[in-house]
Amino acid sequence: MILARWLGRTGWLCAAFGWVVLAGCADVGRYLAAAPERNVGGGTTVQVADGVYLVRGTGGEVDADNLGRIGNAGFIVGDSGVIAIDVGTSYRHGVALLDAIRRVTDKPVTLALVTHVHQEFLFGAAAFRERGIPIRMQRSAAGLMAARCANCLKTLRRLLGEDEMRDTTMFTPDQVFDTSHTLDVIGRPVRVLHLGHSSGPGDIAVLDERTGVLFAGGLIDQHRIPDVQDSSLPGWRAALEALAALRVSTVVPGHGPATSSEVIATTRRYLDRLEARARQLVLEGAALSEVPDASALDEFKDWDQYDTIHRRNASIVFVRIERELNFK
């Protein structure tokens, strides 16, 4: 009952916005400090590398003040066009993201990639599609969206109001894919990485090969608690290991500022410590009702959503471990 209440409290919306950063850990801060910023539609556009841009979300929880624009989006400008990465929370947010791109370049947006199935990364799709821009998703992510995100949309309408969500609709992606591949549609190679069921069943990362900037989607957040709801923790660890082996200069996370590739190890450490604490509580015979308060991880207490997502994560992982031990 307690777990169900927490899941219901969030509405289990469906979030999705994430990225990576720039060149060489020592140089990342200097580059970003000097990067031009533009405020467009409530989000700040930051150039994180040559031709690679982040549109910052606000962080926090979805509410009427932030218009639900809590996650990151971004875009890569190639020689002949643009790939957009994640499409925003609403039709209006999608329009704002397209305006952000237009203020940087007049090259056409060729494609929009959705990195994962969280509501803040999905529902701006109509703004892109009405301009003839196809939406591309991994097949499992598209299936998850179809199965549950009508409810996400209802929750957003309740939280943000009908006016803010006007013209925002469910959609079917124009393109689906199964495996990792390289796109060559903007005169610049962009790798789409599907590393199996990790942070979610169809979550992807996007690597700009020219600069080493990684848009990490749901796989990595910066100074924000990762959400384990749809995850396979073994798969997530394997995916993080695979990302760590790449030549990544900068990580654009799903939430939070662009940062160095060290965030990959930080995310892994949170997952490891979360699971270790939950397993300890199972072995001690703790009740589910005790888990949120007993699962404090002081290293992460200052992270965004520690008091909400972390407590829920602890309960989810506790239940999984109980099931695993009971059905051995």
> What is the domain-level CATH number for residue 32?
3.60.15.10
Non-local (6+) Cβ contacts of 219 within 8 A are 18, 195, 198, 199, 203, 205, 236, 239, 240, 243, 254, 267
Supply the pLDDT for residue 25: 37
Say yes or no to pLDDT of 36 above 90.
no
Phi, psi of 86 (to 5 degrees): 70, 150
Q: Which residues pair with 217 in a beta bridge?
A: 253
- The answer to whether residue 263 scores a pLDDT higher than 80 is yes
- Decide: 107 and 83 in contact? Cβ < 8 Å: no
User: For the chain, how many residues are written?
Assistant: 328
Q: Range with the lowest mean pLDDT among 28-32, 83-87, 126-130?
A: 28-32
Residue 324 neighbours by CB distance under 10 Å: 11
Residue 130 has pLDDT above 60, yes or no: yes
Q: How many CB atoms lie within 10 A of CB 175?
A: 12
Amino acid at 65: D
Say what the pLDDT of residue 14 is: 35
In a domain, 53, yes or no: yes
The answer to whether 267 and 18 are in contact (CB under 8 A) is no
| Within a domain: 315 | no
Mean pLDDT of the chain: 89
Residue 259 per-residue DSSP state? B
Q: pLDDT class for 8, splitting at 50, 70, 90?
A: very low
Confidence tier at 327 by pLDDT (50, 70, 90)? confident
Position 285 scores a pLDDT of 96
252 in any annotated domain: yes
Predicted confidence band of residue 3 (pLDDT cuts 50, 70, 90): very low
Residue at token pair 């003839």: 132
Quote the percentage of the chain above a pLDDT of 70: 87
pLDDT bracket for residue 326 (50, 70, 90): confident
Amino acid making up residue 22: L
Note whether residue 167 is domain-resident: yes
139 is in which domain, residue-wise? 12-260
Predicted local confidence at residue 1, as pLDDT: 36
The 8-class DSSP code of residue 246 comes to S
Residue 304 resides in a domain: no
Which tokens go with 298?
């002081």
309 assigned to some structural domain = no
Q: Is 278 helix (H, G, I), strand (E, B) or coil?
A: helix
- Would the pLDDT of 110 be above 80? yes
Contact call for residues 137 and 202 (beta carbons, < 8 A): yes
Position 39 pLDDT exceeds 70: no
To the nearest 10°, report the CA torsion of 58, 63, 65, 70.
Answer: 10
Task: For residue range 269-289, list pLDDT tens digits in order.
Answer: 999 999 999 999 999 999 999
Strand-pair category, 250-253 with 20-21: antiparallel
In a domain, 3, yes or no: no
Q: At what angle do helices 2-10 and 311-326 cross, to 10 degrees?
A: 130
- How far is Cα 112 from Cα 133, in angstroms, rounded to an integer? 7
pLDDT (tens digit per residue) in 177-216 = 999 999 999 999 999 999 999 999 999 999 999 999 999 9
How many distinct structural domains can be found in the chain? Answer: 1
Whether 239 shows a pLDDT value over 90: the answer reads: yes
Confidence band of 43 (pLDDT split at 50, 70, 90): confident
Residue 58 is assigned to a structural domain of this protein: yes
CB atoms within 10 A of CB 119: 28
CA 316-279-309 angle, to 5 degrees, is 30
Q: Please provide residue 72's backbone torsions phi and psi, each rounded to the nearest 5 degrees.
A: -80, 155
pLDDT at residue 19 is higher than 60: no
Phi first, then psi: give them for residue 163, nearest 5 degrees: -65, -50
